[in-house]
Amino acid sequence: MSRYAFIHACVEPWPVRVLCRLLAVSSAGYYQWRQRPAPPATAWQLAAQAAFARHARRYGTRRLRAELHAEGHAVGRYALRTWLHRNGLRALSTHPHRPRTTVADPAAVVAENRLLGQPAPTAPDQVWVGDITYLPLVGGR
């Protein structure tokens, strides 16, 4: 977010002059920024928006850049990343993180929980990892 955009967002509770003084910008510069029209979207930005929507928001900067280069648009990854960030677009993960809860080796032996038969601890530092006996895993691990 630029300083001017921040001032524009915070103009309601505080005066513009105070915000400009705090952010070390001139108030005339802020008012010129407000008058300035938004820059028109370039051809690669329109193509990137279409490709991002076409692939259901699954393409990140690398694949999006490759597709734009195949269409004839010369754009770098970092310019693409900045454009995505400024427009609030973020690629969705194709492989969501799911913690593994299964044992990789079906022949592996899991140690018995010896704490289940004991009464619950009543204070901190009563049960230690050393109180649990581990069985060696099958397969040399």
**pLDDT, tens only, 23-44:** 999 999 999 999 998 878 889 9
pTM of the predicted structure, to 2 decimals = 0.48
Q: How distant, in Å, are the alpha carbons of 10, 20, 37, 96 from that of 30?
A: 13, 8, 13, 43
Quickly state the pLDDT bin for 122 (edges 50, 70, 90). Answer: confident
Confidence of residue 11 (pLDDT cuts 50, 70, 90): confident
What is the mean predicted confidence (pLDDT) over 116-134? 73
Averaged pLDDT score across all residues of the chain: 83
Burial of 3 by CB count in 10 Å (0-12 exposed, 13-18 middle, 19+ buried)?
Answer: middle
Q: Is the per-residue pLDDT at 141 higher than 50?
A: no
